[in-house]
Structure 1
Amino acid sequence: MRREAGLRYAVMSDVGKRKQNEDAYFAGRMSGHHLFAVADGLGGHASGEVASRMAVEILAETAGRDLPGNDPGEMLIRAFEQINAVIFEYNKDNALNAGTTLSAAVVDESGRCWVGTVGDSRTYIFTPTSSWHTRDQTYVQGLVESGVISPAEAMLHPRKNVLTQALGLSARVQVDLDIVELAGGVLLLSSDGLHDHVPESVIRGIVLDRDPDAACRRLIDSARDAASTDNATVIVARA
């Protein structure tokens, strides 16, 4: 576990039952902010692990250059667009279809969070009285929002992993940007190897009741207990 300027955080990534881990992550401090990110290379697409690694590397480079004196939300949008363009060109040059999801959070000293998301990796904020998370850019999320199925049914839907957006697969990408307050809560970023299998109520109980190290370990164990075979990556941060 690391502590930097009031935030304690920990990270854990597990290969699951896959041959390789296509998740990548970043957790650190730069220019007076914390930056956290989880990227999930698309399984079944060539070089998914390359795409996820490129995503977090370009994000960190962009944040290090552009965060000082600039709006964090605008920085995230620029970073996501650059990531998309670089991976898209990589695919054209190498006749590949590498892609990745990415959810990234910038947290300032006051606890304000700017969160950018493409795909179905998530950022959560849990408090003792509330839960919030980013919107999945998936086919099934559209069904939930239209009232066709419930969130519980979405976890069992056979097309739950069908994305409507991903980085690197087309020339343009739609980035979802949220501005939220940490306000004494707990921040969690995860790839879908966790939240596609473990109910939100269970996730919430784990992160609120444990320090970041213990929470990360228990989250990964819970994904395994729920028969997740996917890579699973979690970042937990709290004041």
Structure 2
Amino acid sequence: MKLAGKTDVGRIRRENQDDFRAGALPGGAAWGLVCDGMGGARGGREASRGACDIIERCFQEHYNRCLPGMEKVFLEDVLSNANHYVFQKSSQEETLAGMGTTAVCALVRSGRVHLCHAGDSRAYLYHAGHLVQLTHDHSYVQELVDCGTITPQEAEHHPQKNIITRALGVDYRVCPDYTSVVILPEDILLLCSDGLTNFVPVAQMEQIFARYSFYDVPDKLIEAANAGGGQDNITALLLGAEPLEVKHG
């Protein structure tokens, strides 16, 4: 696997409440994570950074317990641990009350992508020139789309698009969604925050993937999001089904 990621504050926000982590694992496997914090300037930063710290530690210390077939349980436990940490910290510090963070976490091994997520940070698979969304947003607007109240096109500019219905740290328990798909050589997994997807259409992202090299794509995606308004923090993390190389910028 090869990894490339970048995060950017955007053009409007003063602070970056996004965070991401990634790393290689034994046997040619890899993991990646994108978090988008919420709950005020300090709360958002603390939530995303704290969740990333806990999840990274879980992979470092407990991945050896994740036997074949246990990926769903492992990822759910990882996000549950992060949820507990953020919720406890929010409960104990008045200035952090109400903080939380989205999370989309991936484990790639043995030709499969295993995903667990809460919130509207997304995962896409780039295959044969097309991006396919693998996650389903946990948001109020997505619920309106699901029940047919509004169209996907109307959802793109809905004034309540920022209302999240599931996240880490807002309750003592969390119910993340899990999915798994095949990943083939030359495929690329994209994990990203909504600061990218809200300002760069999928068709434009596909053009960037097709035009630029693997390690240049995160920079170009962020440039496109800033050119499209840059009204939020932006994070793009790639995991490529290739021999191992790592870049974290």
Q: What per-residue deviation string (whole Å, max 9, x for no partner) do you get for residues 173-230 of structure 1?
A: 1100111112232110101100012111212222243222221111001101111211
Correspondent of 2:52 among 56, 59, 78 = 56
Identity of aligned residues (%): 33
Residue 145 of structure 2 aligns to which amino acid in structure 1? V
The one-letter amino acid paired with 1:49 is R
TM-score when scaled to structure 2? 0.88
Give the structure 2 partner of residue 112 of structure 1: 112
Distance 2:78 2:13 in 1: 29
Runs of 4+ in 1 over 4 A off after TM superposition: none
The answer on whether the counterparts of 2:35 and 2:104 sit within 8 Å (CA) in structure 1 is yes
TM-score by length of 1: 0.91
Q: Which amino acid letter does the alignment assign opposite residue 51 of structure 2?
A: A
State the match for 2:18 in structure 1: 23
Partner of 2:247: none
Query: Within 1, Cα distance between the matches of 2:85 and 2:65?
Result: 25
Who is 1:127 aligned against?
127
Q: Deviation string for 1:13-63 (max 9, x for gaps)?
A: 110121111111001112332010000011536511011011111111112
Determine whether 1:72 maps to 2:71: yes
8 Å CA contact 1:63–1:75 kept in 2: the answer is no
Q: Which runs of 5+ in 2 are unaligned?
A: 243-249
Q: 1:10 aligns with which of 1, 4, 12?
A: 4
Show structure 1 runs of 5+ residues with no match: 1-6
Q: Is the 8 A contact 1:127 1:208 kept in 2?
A: no
The one-letter code sitting in structure 2 at the alignment partner of 1:20 is: E
Cα root mean square deviation, aligned: 1.6
SS of the residue corresponding to residue 68 of structure 1 reads helix
